Amino acid sequence: MKAKLFSPYTIKNVTLKNRIVMAPMCMYSCEKEDGMVTDWHHTHYESRAVGQVGLVMLEATAVTPEGRISTQDLGIWSDDHVEGLSELTRKIKRHGAKAAIQIAHAGRKSTVPEEILAPSALAFDESYKLPKAMSAEEVEGMVESFRLAADRAKRAGFDIIEIHAAHGYLINQFLSPLTNRREDEYGGSEENRFRFLGEVLKSVRSVWDGPLFVRISANDYHEDGLTPADYSRMAEWMKKLGADLIDVSSGAVVPAKISVYPGYQVRFSEEIRMGADIPTGAVGLITTGIQAEEILQNDRADLIFIARELLRDPYWPRTAAKELRAEIEPPVQYSRGWIR
């Protein structure tokens, strides 16, 4: 039986050559604090495409300057960013990989010197700045910032866009009752807390007809926070608004003790996949081909997002193929060295 990890996967109008996704990981490598692509980004991302990853996803890329996690983050808040991103997508795609970008706003977890924004004026902890609670007009403007970012991503040639609604960043802050204390139409009930993400989805869909992923934190790890059951409901709403796949991570909206172990988030992916009848991606301490294959064969996820293991091994697809006794096509230039 052919390994499912190396079977093609079609989502909307895009076919990935395998089920391996390079998960978005911040590189903090913009040299002039301008959000521009650098030589490091070219080397880093292209090498994983050479390594036969099916989908290479760029790190959290900020839709506004104050939305950066750090001043070294990539940006997509200006038309000036499109040229560098276009060259990067060209290099990724020439090796047979597809290119994705995660568009994001850090909210209260931004460490930039500018004034930072959040749904409510609550700092993450004592080491972070106190954010400004966004006005209704600022919320509306942020929705437009995501729309403009999606349009630039389209012009830059990306195949897939992912909206970052996880890890305690801005959209996650709106979703969680732990961080959203608003008393207007964007706070209070679950429907109101979802409203900002819903408007972002509609706005992005107005300019983007390709596959659209949403990364979520499926568990707040807090007795008063959100759970996978809550996100199963919200994933149904996301699906109706045009989301094609839910990238299932967890945690980081508030300080919390999290017990981590191999595949610790896979059960969340499985629950949301079944509960909302939507494709999911599994991520979190997935390190071997055998582990990835089990997740796929048991229908616990549709795609496997590999993060730190791809930092250790840019050619992890080859490593996984050897474990699964699967044959994958090597880069022509490396064919002599890839023979088992």
Beta strands in 38-143 (DSSP E): 55-62, 98-104, 117-118, 132-133
Can you read off the two tokens belonging to residue 97?
């990989």
Known binding-site residues equal 28, 60, 102, 164-167, 215, 307-308
- Residues pairing with 55 in the sheet: 21, 98
Known binding-site residues for substrate equal 28, 164-167
Alpha carbons 214 and 300: distance in angstroms, whole number: 17
The 3-state DSSP class for residue 92 equals: helix
What are the backbone dihedrals phi and psi of residue 148, each rounded to the nearest 5 degrees, phi first? Answer: -65, -40
- Residues pairing with 213 in the sheet: 162, 245
Task: Please check whether residue 287 is in contact with residue 256, taking contact to mean a CB–CB distance below 8 angstroms.
Answer: no
Alpha carbons 147 and 138: distance in angstroms, whole number: 14
Q: For residue 104, how far is the Cα from the chain centroid?
A: 9
Contacts of 171 (CB under 8 A, 6+ apart): 105, 107, 163, 164, 165, 196, 197, 200
- Tokens 């970008």 correspond to 101
Known binding-site residues for FMN equal 60, 102, 215, 307-308
